[in-house]
Structures are given as C-alpha cells and as structure tokens.
Chain A
C-alpha cells in the first residue's frame, strides 16, 4: 500500500511539473499591417506646430489656430499617386499638389518621398507609424538657410492629419 501511495505521489508530481512548464501556445498574430495600405486615404490637417530649430533650446509652438483662419489642407494618397488640395490654405507646402509617392522602406517607413508633376522631388519625415488602424498621419519637414556658405537648420513644421 505504501508503495502504491509513493508511486501515485511521484507520478502526480511528475505530471504537474511536466505540464506546468509546457509553454503556452500563442495565437497567430497574422500578417504585419501594411504601411502602404495604411497611408492610402484622404487626410485633413488637424494640428500644426513649428519648432524653432535655430534657438538654443528648440521650442515647439502650436500654430493650428493660424491654419484654421483659412481652409485646412487635405492630402490624398492612392496606391502610387499623391494629390494635395491647398487652395485657400494659409500656405502651400506641397509643390504642384500632384505627383507620385513612395516610402523609403515599405515595411518600416521613416519618410515619404514625393515626386511632383513638374519632376521636383520632396521628402517628408514620418512622425509615427502609419498602419490601416492608425487614425493620424504625422509629417515633419525642416527648412534651412545658408549663412557664409554654411547650411544651417532654421525651423521645422510638424503637420498632423486625420483620416477624412
């Protein structure tokens, strides 16, 4: 009887230790969200900021209210094309307003390259990732000036758009 009891306890402990250490199965998380698809939408400006890059301690000022004094710009990305509606806005920062676009890296993009219809190229940095589930698109662009032949950063804009 003692032996049976010993064996029972032994097998019980063995089964507990075996099953309790087995790793849990995780559900398949699916495919990585496509940033290409995430960007394809029409976006309208929701917030605008200027960063004083030439100041000793760069400051970020909200200038959304200035943009709201006129029509808010909208931008549209299709699979390959880009359009911007900037008529009536405070200022156009999107060239001819039409062209093609591409990411610097389709899986992990950090910037959007625009090739405008007049073949002028421009680049906007992405402020955050842009999956289909992301509600906002953050673009950043820096502006420079030359002094005594040296290129210096002057200021940057951050534009936040939301899906229309």
Chain B
C-alpha cells in the first residue's frame, strides 16, 4: 500500500512538473506589446538538461515574431560563428525574487523585433536560452529547448466605442455598440429595430451639443443604430457619421470628447439602457 501511495505521489509530482511554466511574459499573458514587457524563463523548469550545471551568464536567442538580421544591434550572435558568441545585448538578468533560476529580458516587443503588435499576437515570442558559447560545431549544444510564449491582445474597447478609435470631428466615424457583451443582461440580444444612440459632445469652447435629449432619442430616426448581421462585428450595432455634420458643430470649433449611451426605443427605466459606458471618448487623438 505504501508503495502504491508513493507511486501515485510521484506521478502527481511528475505531472505538475511537466505542466509547470518554463517561460512567460509579464505583465501577463494579455499584454500591450507596445509597452515595456519582461520575457521570463525558469531554468529549473526547462526540459533540456544541458544547462543544468551552468551558473550563467545566460543569453536569449530569439527568432519569433522575427529573426533580426546580421546588421541589427540585437542580432542573436555575432562573428563568423554566432552560436559561439551570443550578443551581449541579449544577456538575461536574474530575478531571485521569482526563483533561484529565474531570468528575464526586458523589451518593448514591437520595437525590439521591429514588427507590428499584430505580428506579436499572431506569431507569439519564440526563444531559447544559452550561455555565450552555445557549443556546437562538433561539440554538444548547450541550450534549452525552444520556448514559445503566446501573447494575447488586451481588450481595450468599451461596450460602446468609436471606430476608428482615433476619431476626428471632420472625418467619418462609426459609433459601435458591442451588444453581445453588454453588462446589462436585459439589453442583450436587442432587436434590430430597438437600438438608439444618445450622444452628448463637448466642444473646444467647453459648450455641449446633443442631437436629442436622452428621453427623446427613441423618436429621432437618425439616432437609430444598425445591427450588423455578419462578419467579425456580427451582433454589434453601428451608426456612421461625420460628427460636424451630424451634430451641427459650428465652424471654428472641434469636438473634444463625447459621451454615449445606448437605449431601447421605448425607455421604461434602467433596464432599457446600456450600463458602464459613461467614460468620455476623446476626439482628435488627444
């Protein structure tokens, strides 16, 4: 019986170790890769044992989302045998607060790799860790296995948002209402004919404009939003406009910000309106 319990315990420990995370990105798996991030590796959790007896320094060798060319300051290795001469710019820093064998590399991924944020989210970050001289050329390689980190794009939009995010007074702007994720569950699955937009805009001279008062919105056909029935925005509603014309913004003034609320055509209280979207949307990319 003791042997059986010991066996089961060992199996559980083995499973935990197998699934333990050897590499990750901070601040978290959902990260804005246009800001500073840390790529972490825990060498006690990698499966390739070739670095086990080494104490460092260690270097990152990376190829995804893009392998940097030979003339780049952050190329993986330099000289005629780059694998034996890692780039000092890619030296990892120890982080003993996270573990005795935890190291990180700090970067802004889009700047470091010279790619768009979309590339980072699509391809992830792939790298391995090695000493400056990674062996090879007849000698055994000294390196971890390939480590792959999937990076998720942050959800940056409210339930009501403008598309483009960078909205201008004199350009085409679409106010979008992401009805499927509405926090007021009574408002979800709105009928195509039952979605109206209330908008209050603040102008550059601090005055306000409304197309209609909140309680009158349901009687103004121009404030009816259109339901999108196919594609990536399916289920959402939209209202496209050129704000200056739509709101009658006088010449010489621009929109500073806008507040949006979506409601049903017939309003009978709080259950008939969107919630939690009162943050102003700033115009002119301010």
Q: In the complex, how many angstroms separate the beta carbon of A136 from the nearest chain B beta carbon?
A: 19
Distance in angstroms between the alpha carbons of A58 and B163 in the assembled complex: 10
Give the residues in chain A near B238, CB-CB below 8 Å: 61
B136 on the A face (CB < 8 A): no
Distance in angstroms between the alpha carbons of A57 and B240 in the assembled complex: 20
Give the residues in chain B near A155, CB-CB below 8 Å: 164, 166
Chain A stretch 26-80: residues in CB contact (< 8 A) with chain B: 50-63, 65-66
- Residue from A52, A65, A91 having most chain B Cβ neighbours under 10 A: A52
In this complex, how many residues of chain B approach chain A with their Cβ under 8 Å: the count is 26
- A60 to chain B: closest residue by CB: B232
CB distance A55 to B156 under 8 Å?
yes
Distance in angstroms between the alpha carbons of A88 and B73 in the assembled complex: 53
Given contacts A63-B172, A66-B240, A154-B285, contact A52 B153 (CB under 8 A): no
CB distance B166 to A50 under 8 Å?
no
Q: In the complex, how many angstroms separate the beta carbon of B228 from the nearest chain A beta carbon?
A: 8
Classify the interface of chain B: helix, strand, loop or mixed. loop
Give per-residue flags for B19-57: 1 if the beta carbon is below 8 A from chain A beta carbons, else 0.
Answer: 000000000000010000000000000000000000000
Distance in angstroms between the alpha carbons of A63 and B226 in the assembled complex: 11
Distance in angstroms between the alpha carbons of A59 and B172 in the assembled complex: 15
Given contacts A55-B156, A56-B32, A56-B117, contact A63 B174 (CB under 8 A): yes
Give the residues in chain B near A11, CB-CB below 8 Å: none
- B233 to chain A: closest residue by CB: A61
Give per-residue flags for B179-191: 1 if the beta carbon is below 8 A from chain A beta carbons, else 0.
Answer: 0000000000000
Interchain pairs with CB closer than 8 A, number? 65
B79 on the A face (CB < 8 A): no
Q: In the complex, how many angstroms separate the beta carbon of A141 from the nearest chain B beta carbon?
A: 12
Classify the interface of chain A: helix, strand, loop or mixed. mixed
Give the residues in chain A near B233, CB-CB below 8 Å: 59, 61
CB distance B165 to A90 under 8 Å?
no
B69 on the A face (CB < 8 A): no
Give per-residue flags for B138-161: 1 if the beta carbon is below 8 A from chain A beta carbons, else 0.
Answer: 000000000000000110110000
Give the residues in chain B near A55, CB-CB below 8 Å: 156-157, 163-165
The 9 closest A-B pairs by CB, nearest first: A155-B164, A66-B240, A154-B166, A52-B164, A145-B285, A54-B166, A56-B153, A57-B153, A54-B165
- B residues whose Cβ falls under 8 Å from a Cβ of A: 32, 117-118, 121, 153-154, 156-157, 163-166, 171-172, 174, 176, 226, 231-233, 238, 240-242, 284-285
- A residues whose Cβ falls under 8 Å from a Cβ of B: 50-63, 65-66, 90-91, 143, 145, 147, 152, 154-155
